[in-house]
């Protein structure tokens, strides 16, 4: 997908119409997952199946191998960040999220994940910053608004 199409979808995330926002969100995720074509998508699927089956080491191996083969594949990094987060490895997840954001500065999923990691570590100010960055991209994302309030309450 070309840069103009991405920019249009990002603008649609700010639309008052929920249907327009949902379509844009779905299309952005589709674009990110398909960045490396069928091969990349197939490995992401296999990793997800392994994770759902409880085979975390295999899922991690698949994602790490994909990252070594395709280091500019932001969604591979993001999926590994999610895996690390689910395992309570917040620092590793933060590191992967930061790489995602270097590769794709508008990846609202990685911004959200970064906020979750910081909140889990008790770094509420950093969590708030990450959730606010996500809201700049997706201003109607109620979950990020709620998490900002939760982190703010924990600071007081």
Per-residue pLDDT of the chain (156 residues; tens, 9 = 90+): 678 899 999 999 999 999 999 999 999 999 999 999 999 999 999 999 999 999 999 999 999 999 999 999 999 999 999 999 999 999 999 999 999 999 999 999 999 999 999 999 999 999 999 999 999 999 999 999 999 999 999 997
Q: Where are the beta strands (DSSP E) in 42-120?
A: none
pTM value is 0.94
Locate the domains of the chain by residue range: 3-155
Spatial contact of 140 and 117, defined as CB atoms under 8 Å apart: no
Phi, psi of 13 (to 5 degrees): -65, -20
- CATH architecture assigned to 3-155: Alpha Horseshoe (1.25)
Spatial contact of 73 and 67, defined as CB atoms under 8 Å apart: yes
């Amino acid at each position: 997908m070309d840069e103009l199409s991405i920019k249009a979808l990002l603008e649609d995330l700010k639309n008052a119409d929920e249907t327009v926002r949902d379509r844009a969100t779905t299309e952005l995720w589709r674009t990110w997952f398909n960045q490396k074509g069928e091969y990349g998508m197939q490995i992401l699927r296999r990793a997800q199946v392994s994770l759902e089956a409880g085979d975390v080491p295999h899922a991690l191996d698949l994602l790490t191998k994909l990252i070594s083969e395709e280091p500019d594949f932001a969604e591979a990094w993001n999926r590994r960040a999610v895996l690390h987060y689910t395992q309570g490895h917040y620092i590793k997840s933060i590191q992967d999220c930061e790489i995602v954001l270097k590769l794709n500065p508008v990846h609202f999923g990685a911004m959200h994940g970064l906020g979750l990691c910081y909140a889990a570590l008790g770094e509420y100010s950093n969590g708030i910053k990450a959730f606010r960055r996500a809201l700049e991209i997706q201003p109607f994302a109620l979950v990020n608004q709620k998490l900002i309030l939760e982190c703010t309450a924990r600071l007081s």
